[in-house]
């Protein structure tokens, strides 16, 4: 199980350029003949969706056995991407935040059933006639980890992408920071009783990031780098920049399928200027604990959590979908989607990441196989997130492999 935690914070990324749907997509990294089926799937998936770039990495029993990139870091400049290139990972940041929280639990600094407002003290922003929803006082760390805190973006909105609305209401300048989001939400009613049901919430992980800062006295990014990433030998991971001129050394370029601009919330002209969707329509730094990370590097093994915390992390805490004849029941653990492995008592753990410019998935199988895939385009031509078509096919590729390479 130690390799699960290691792999949850290890993302290696490269990209692909397509000049025609039939042309072979150039690959970087060492070819692994035993795993050529993964090469074939990556190329077919990328051709089907006209994806500029993608990368796939596989760890088996703590050893990196496959790491291949396809194409360019910058399609226009024909800039190749190396295996250590940085890449936005969107909500694959959530398992990283979960590890940081559970490490504080293991250290006795935090309990999963602590009330969030016992740790965070922000002055609510009330709009006319507003008042504190008393159910806020019931929200726990566990609720935030399991998406049961009371926020439902399908019923109301996703607080992490409401910068213009919040700035206008609070009469403040852009950009919106995490503390502004929290103050605004404290003045809004919850969508349901905390703990009542599951509803995926980026905002809950924003709160967890602030709890980490409160308990450690460090910025979220620095604490995660010092206490989660560096012990694993990962030194280049960082919160991504929002603007194109903030592209880090070795970072890929991002693309969106529609190519339509949006109104900037960060940088010159924030609030008025139209900018590419991938650069400035949201503030990457504000997404930090739920979707802000750039990742790279192959780290070393380390014990970050107790065995009990690892098992708890990928357990079945809240049901998302019931079992059918075709599919097993699906659950959410502590920072991971989980489902029973066929014929086993163990769980398969996964987490996807989705932005207009990013599709990502991190997958753990009970046999010691861990897999990460990334693309620098997040949607298909119809605007549907690409991540929904990733995990099923890759699971089917993993299952029949019997002879994994020992020294790729």
pTM: 0.92
* Dist. CA 246–CA 53, nearest whole Å: 20
Residue 171 has pLDDT above 80, yes or no: yes
pLDDT at 18: 33
Is residue 62 classed as helix, strand or coil in its secondary structure?
coil
pLDDT at 169: 98
Residue 179 has pLDDT above 50, yes or no: yes
For 287-345, the pLDDT digits (tens) are 999 998 887 544 445 689 999 999 999 999 999 999 998 888 999 999 999 999 988 88
Mean pLDDT to the nearest integer, 237-251: 93
Residue 183 has pLDDT above 90, yes or no: yes
Q: Is 85 a residue of the active site?
A: no
Residue 241 has pLDDT above 70, yes or no: yes
- Find, among 401, 209, 398, the residue nearest to 286 by Cα: 209
**Residue pointed to by tokens 């006082």:** 137
The active-site residue, picked from 19, 21, 91, 201, is: 91
pLDDT at 407: 62
Residue 136 has pLDDT above 50, yes or no: yes
Portion of the chain with pLDDT greater than 70, in percent: 92
Do residues 296 and 236 make contact, with C-beta atoms less than 8 angstroms apart?
yes
pLDDT at 71: 80
- Find, among 240, 225, 242, the residue nearest to 96 by Cα: 225
* Dist. CA 69–CA 30, nearest whole Å: 9
Mean pLDDT for the chain overall: 90
Mean pLDDT to the nearest integer, 54-67: 91
**Res. 23 pLDDT band, cuts 50 70 90:** low
Burial class (CB in 10 A: 0-12, 13-18, 19+), 80: middle
Could you give phi then psi for residue 360, rounded to 5 degrees?
-145, 155
Residue 50 has pLDDT above 50, yes or no: yes
For 260-289, the pLDDT digits (tens) are 899 999 999 999 999 999 999 999 999 999
Peptide bond into 6 cis (omega under 30): no
Instruction: Identify the top-confidence range among 33-47, 80-94, 108-122, 391-405.
Output: 108-122
pLDDT at 302: 62
Portion of the chain with pLDDT greater than 90, in percent: 75
């Amino acid at each position: 199980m130690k390799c699960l935690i290691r792999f949850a914070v290890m993302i290696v990324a490269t990209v692909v350029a397509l000049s025609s749907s039939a042309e072979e997509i150039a690959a970087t990294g060492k070819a692994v003949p035993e795993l050529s089926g993964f090469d074939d799937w990556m190329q077919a998936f990328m051709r089907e969706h006209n994806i500029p770039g993608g990368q796939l990495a596989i760890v088996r029993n703590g050893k990196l056995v496959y790491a291949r990139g396809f194409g360019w870091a910058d399609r226009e400049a024909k800039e190749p991407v190396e295996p250590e290139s940085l890449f936005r990972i969107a909500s694959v940041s959530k398992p990283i935040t979960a590890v940081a929280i559970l490490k504080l639990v293991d250290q006795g600094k935090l309990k999963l059933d602590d009330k969030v407002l016992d740790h965070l003290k922000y002055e609510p922003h009330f709009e006319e006639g507003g008042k504190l929803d008393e159910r806020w006082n019931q929200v726990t760390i566990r609720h935030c980890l399991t998406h049961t805190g009371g926020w439902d973006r399908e019923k109301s909105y996703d607080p992490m992408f409401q910068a213009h609305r919040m700035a206008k209401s609070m009469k403040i300048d852009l950009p919106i920071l995490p503390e502004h989001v929290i103050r605004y939400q404290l003045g809004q009613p919850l969508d349901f009783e905390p703990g009542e049901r599951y509803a995926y919430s980026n905002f809950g992980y924003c709160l967890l990031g602030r709890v980490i800062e409160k308990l450690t006295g460090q910025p979220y990014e620095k604490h995660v780098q010092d206490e989660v990433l560096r012990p694993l030998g990962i030194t280049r991971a960082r919160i991504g920049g929002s603007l194109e001129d903030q592209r880090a050394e070795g970072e890929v370029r991002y693309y969106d399928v529609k190519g339509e601009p949006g109104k900037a919330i960060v940088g010159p002209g924030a609030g008025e200027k139209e900018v590419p969707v991938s650069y400035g329509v949201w503030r990457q730094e504000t997404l930090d604990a739920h979707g802000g990370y750039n990742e790279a590097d192959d780290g070393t093994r380390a014990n970050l959590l107790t065995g009990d915390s690892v098992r708890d992390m990928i357990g079945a805490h809240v049901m998302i979908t019931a079992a059918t004849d075709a599919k097993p029941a699906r659950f959410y653990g502590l920072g991971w989607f989980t489902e029973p492995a066929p014929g086993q008592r163990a769980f398969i753990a996964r987490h996807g990441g989705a932005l207009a410019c990013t599709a990502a998935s991190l997958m753990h199988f009970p046999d010691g196989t861990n897999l990460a895939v990334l693309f620098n385009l997040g949607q298909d031509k119809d605007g549907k997130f690409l991540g929904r078509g990733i995990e099923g096919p890759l699971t089917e590729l993993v299952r029949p492999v019997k002879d994994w390479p020992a020294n790729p």
